[in-house]
A = this chain, B = another copy of it.
Amino acid sequence: MASIGFIGLGIMGTPMARHLQDAGHRIITSKFIIPPRQELVDHGLELVETPKALAEALDTIILMLPDTPEVEDVLFGENGVYYGLGEGKLVIDMSSISPIDTKEFARKVRETGADYIDAPVSGGEVGAKNASLSIMAGGTPESFERALPLFKLMGKNITLVGDCGDGQVTKVANQIIVALTIEAVSEALVFASKAGADPARVREALMGGFASSRILEVHGERMIKRTFEPGFRISLHQKDLNLALQGAKSLGISLPNTAATQELFNICAANGDSGLDHSGLVRALERMANHPVA
């Protein structure tokens, strides 16, 4: 069993690190804003002063942080991971951050002789707890092979998509499709309901054909049963669509419906719904139509 550095022990990171502990790995973190939960300490979590010290002491460093600036800070800020890296070490960033910045981070990390994998996940807190996360990785096949045993302790649907950055690109693509399909189902159910049909029966009728999707199944049911406790919060999905839109601006891509859907999420935020599950997007369209689906 190995000793693994893990920075970012929040809602997602805690259960992920726990799975590694349960498999016998020794987890070490560095002092960082929020103190780690007791359950990690109870299972042997150790602490060093700085990310740099962590990188000097260990070969594998996993990051699970909220957004691009935090990753940049932990890697390249004062006493950052970067300054402790060298030949044979591996940084695995499982955060969901900018694909473009990821390529730059990887380039710099590789200059030290270390390697880099971006491996963002989907599946949310439930997936983290059940070790059933989807993991979308970008990196070399060699480093992927090296990380794979760890990934298998945390997730199920694990794919090496391409080189560094491609994991983050895939995560962005995932979040675009999920948001826009939730929006599509919302428009369809608001239409059906206000036109006088029973949305539950409409959803069932649609499940068999080309309109069928995981979103129609799961989130469509939430819209009808009005079960909007998260799941995956609207505020988090807004962060991810912002990655998509900022990336599109940098790369010269036009994403009209992603942009429109982001503005619909803003309606949710304006009306106190940003803590709801992202299926709560339907409430923006309900407000606009002055009609609840159910």
Contact = CB atoms under 8 A, between A and B. Distances in A.
A178 B254 contact: no
Interface residues of A, number: 88
B252 A201 contact: no
A33 interface: no
A214 to B, nearest CB: 5
A198 interface: yes
Given A165-B195, A198-B161, A269 B247 contact: no
A39 to B, nearest CB: 27
Q: How many copies altogether?
A: 4
A210 B122 contact: yes
B192 A123 contact: no
A100 B249 CA distance: 22
A289 B265 CA distance: 11
Given A122-B210, A209-B122, A188 B177 contact: yes
Given A169-B197, A177-B184, A215-B210, A266 B247 contact: no
Interface in A239-273: 242, 244-245, 247-249, 251-264, 266-267, 269-272
B270 A288 contact: yes
B262 A288 contact: no
B260 A259 contact: yes
A194 interface: yes
A272 to B, nearest CB: 8
24 contacts: A99-B195, A134-B208, A134-B209, A159-B204, A161-B205, A165-B196, A170-B206, A174-B206, A176-B184, A176-B188, A177-B185, A177-B216, A178-B210, A179-B184, A194-B251, A194-B253, A210-B214, A212-B214, A213-B215, A248-B266, A252-B266, A257-B260, A260-B260, A266-B288
The 10 A-B pairs with the shortest beta carbon distances in the complex, nearest first, are A213-B213, A180-B184, A252-B270, A157-B208, A173-B188, A159-B205, A177-B211, A259-B259, A254-B288, A270-B290
